[in-house]
Structure 1
Amino acid sequence: MTCYTLGAWKNINKIKIENIQKHLNLWYEKNHRKLPWRETNNPYYIWISEVMLQQTRVDTVIPYFLNFINKFPNIESLAYAHEEEVLKMWEGLGYYSRAKNLHRGAKVIVEDFNGNMPDTLEEIKKIPGIGPYTAGAILSIAYGKRAAAVDGNVMRVFSRLFYIKEDIAESKTRKEMEKIGGHVVSPQNPSFFNQGLMELGALICTPTSPKCIACPLFLECSAKSLGVQETLPIKKKKPKVKTVEVEMAIVYKKKKLLIMKRSTQGLLANLWAVPATERELNFENGKSIRLELEENYGMKVTEGKFQFEKKHIFTHLKWKMKIYFFKLIEESPIDDPEIKWILHDEIEKYVFPTAFMKILKEIESIKADEVCKL
């Protein structure tokens, strides 16, 4: 059985490719899940769905997708929306740079392409946030173009199907697999073929315990014939996620909660939050965040009263969040639109990242009156 090394994809047997195309397209036609973005070939809807599906489960995406296209039914409505509106519709999905790139991309499409999603690889790659995978998905699904759409699921399928023993975490492997995708994609129905590969990776050719007996490509799978399907793909382990202790301040003034907009750069950029800071090594009992309030916000507050602890995991780090309540004693006049005092029923007007929404939901049951008695 052939083991295909990088660069050897052109040697894949023509009959093998034709069998893969035939069986995969038939399987997808009969077995694909009924999902709202599959009921259309509207390139805008396909674009939105593909971006939402990055790093996010299908079941989670469905209501967000429906709400998003209801709010922004076309590219123009998205382009002319305020960023805050777009982020609000994204609230809870995480990875907010995706929403920001969609917004930026819509503006580029309106300004440079008369509001029409480009239908060539050269032009579609000019849209912010559209990389090789998203470009291939839009071109093949919306326009029926013969383009590769290779994501993590597809790389896993290819690793097993063609017995490729290369690290899929490396960019050179991804680039070669994109070439494989372009080589084997069905010319008759590239939409079904690419969606079939994605669906196969999601439902059958799973990371662990692949359901080989139900796979339409069972007879063509090199790894299965050797009994090594569960050893592939090869992927180097991610570095251990760093844990950071973060102190957060819940500060009330006459039943109003203090919130602020985070920096335009870095983690959770430009989103609303309660004051937060990394805990200094030798500081305890909320001292780090209390100094932050005094030095950066000009607020004199009581000693912090610890309330509860939460955890939140990002891609590259884990926050161990400690929440402290403070009573405001004195404040310097602040003329900054990015620092606000709001009532609890006004929280919905602002976009908070998931990490902070966990905190806000937790404190909903705590009366502001009780905090003020600290």
Structure 2
Amino acid sequence: MPANSFSRRVLAWWRRHGRKDLPWQRRPDPYRVWVSEIMLQQTQVGTVIGYFDRFMERFPTLERLAAGSEDEVLELWTGLGYYARARNLHRAARLALERHGCLPPDLDALTALPGIGRSTAGAILALAHGEPATILDGNVKRVLARHAGVDGWPGTPAVMRRLWALAEGRTPPRQAGPYAQAMMDLGATLCTRASPGCAACPVAGDCVALREGRQTDWPAPKPRKSLPERQTWMLLLHDDQGAVLLQRRPPSGVWGGLWSLPEAAGTAEADTLARALVGRSPTQWRALEPIRHTFTHFRLHIHPLVGRVHGPATAGVKDAVQVWYKPGQPPPGGMPAPVVSLLDGPDGP
């Protein structure tokens, strides 16, 4: 069937069944669309809604985001994961104002900003400006790969070229915005990774995956590699006032720019590190149950050590790299999820 038949069926389905009242859809200006698209990368809609609402309350405009601090941005991102998205969002807001005075309505200018790829730029142009732009997020890749029977993992250049050609060929120039939303909804609600709802799919009639019974084969998964295992010992250093020491991590790398617990390479280094940080070490350490945290490229085994250092610390005083944090105080900034769970647990401050 021709490409325009595909788009007509998808749009007709969306008009009856698509999502039209998500927070970023109620007022789809370029800034709100951009923030939602960044948050939705590798994150479910149900999780994003609350984060999006809180983010918009604090940073309702591009100008407010650019004027905010990275700590504020990361704090609002805490728990959403993939923190490079937040750092790039903040940097891109400042660069957009510096270079253009706004979020530019141009594909090349958008993709020149940190964290904005071809699909995100296409979403901004199609959804906010009504431009004939194309998107290719994870949901759209899955729909197209199944419908056309595209072999291979979408992370490879050849497969991506094939999928982009399909996406561009099927995007109706005059309805690119509604079609983009329709394709995202189709992948998120019907053509799901597991148990796709083929009986209700508007394009099931010519879907290669359904015809061949190979819905689980497409898109092909990323080739498996065993993840390297890493170990770290996180120190929960308490003072007599109930504060715990936090350190800001370097701006790049794992948890870049977040506030975390001091880390040692083993129990033997814990005393030395504590003395270097606060001038004294605990009389004893108490080990908690290890925590396993999986990143994209490795698996981290966290061994928490709790120790109390006697004598008051300067609770609440923050410098560039460390702070004594007490419950009830505003967080100093964003914190990794494992650190939040440790601080919220019975051995927190």
- Taking the aligned partners of 1:36 and 1:266, their CA distance within structure 2 comes to 32
Q: Is 1:344 aligned to 2:300, yes or no?
A: no
Give the letter aligned to residue 357 of structure 1.
V
Taking structure 1 as the reference length, the TM-score comes to 0.85
Give the letter aligned to residue 252 of structure 1.
H
Matches within 5 A, 1:55-94: 55-94=42-81
> Which position in structure 2 is the counterpart of 1:95?
82
Cα deviation, 1:332-365, whole Å, max 9, x if unaligned, reads: 99x964222232322534321112101101146x
- Taking the aligned partners of 1:356 and 1:118, their CA distance within structure 2 comes to 37
- Taking the aligned partners of 2:319 and 2:27, their CA distance within structure 1 comes to 45
> Which position in structure 1 is the counterpart of 2:299?
318
- Taking the aligned partners of 1:264 and 1:107, their CA distance within structure 2 comes to 17
Cα deviation, 1:146-177, whole Å, max 9, x if unaligned, reads: 22110122111111111111222213322331
Matches within 5 A, 1:1-374: 15-33=1-19, 34-115=21-102, 117-255=103-241, 256-279=243-266, 286-295=267-276, 298-328=279-309, 337-346=320-329, 348-363=331-346
- Taking the aligned partners of 1:122 and 1:325, their CA distance within structure 2 comes to 51
Give the letter aligned to residue 198 of structure 1.
M
Unaligned runs of 5+ in 1: 1-14, 280-285, 369-374
Asked if 2 retains the 8 angstrom alpha-carbon contact of 1:169 and 1:235, the reply is: no
> SS at 1:340's partner residue?
strand
- Taking the aligned partners of 1:95 and 1:146, their CA distance within structure 2 comes to 30
- Taking the aligned partners of 1:324 and 1:146, their CA distance within structure 2 comes to 55
Give the letter aligned to residue 42 of structure 1.
D
- Taking the aligned partners of 2:313 and 2:332, their CA distance within structure 1 comes to 26
> SS at 2:55's partner residue?
helix
Give the letter aligned to residue 29 of structure 1.
R
Asked if 2 retains the 8 angstrom alpha-carbon contact of 1:299 and 1:331, the reply is: no
Asked if 2 retains the 8 angstrom alpha-carbon contact of 1:210 and 1:230, the reply is: no
Unaligned runs of 5+ in 2: none
> SS at 1:129's partner residue?
coil
- Give the 3 Å change call, closer, same or farther, for CA 288–172 of structure 1 in structure 2: farther
Asked if 1 retains the 8 angstrom alpha-carbon contact of 2:150 and 2:159, the reply is: no
Give the letter aligned to residue 266 of structure 1.
G
- Taking the aligned partners of 1:236 and 1:105, their CA distance within structure 2 comes to 29
Give the letter aligned to residue 233 of structure 2.
E
Taking structure 2 as the reference length, the TM-score comes to 0.91
Asked if 2 retains the 8 angstrom alpha-carbon contact of 1:290 and 1:303, the reply is: no
> Taking every aligned residue pair, what percent have the same amino acid on both sides?
30
| Residue 78 (structure 1) shift | 0.7
| Residue 67 (structure 1) shift | 0.9
> Which position in structure 2 is the counterpart of 1:4?
none
Cα deviation, 1:227-282, whole Å, max 9, x if unaligned, reads: 22232222333322333222111112222221111122321112111212343xxx
Deviates more, 1:55-64 or 1:168-177: 168-177
> SS at 1:250's partner residue?
strand
Give the letter aligned to residue 342 of structure 1.
Y
- Give the 3 Å change call, closer, same or farther, for CA 265–187 of structure 1 in structure 2: closer
> SS at 2:323's partner residue?
strand
- Taking the aligned partners of 1:60 and 1:207, their CA distance within structure 2 comes to 18
| Residue 217 (structure 1) shift | 0.4
Size of the aligned set, in residue pairs, is: 345
Asked if 2 retains the 8 angstrom alpha-carbon contact of 1:287 and 1:304, the reply is: no
| Residue 292 (structure 1) shift | 2.8
- Taking the aligned partners of 2:346 and 2:270, their CA distance within structure 1 comes to 18
Asked if 2 retains the 8 angstrom alpha-carbon contact of 1:290 and 1:304, the reply is: no
> SS at 1:192's partner residue?
helix
- Give the 3 Å change call, closer, same or farther, for CA 142–228 of structure 1 in structure 2: same
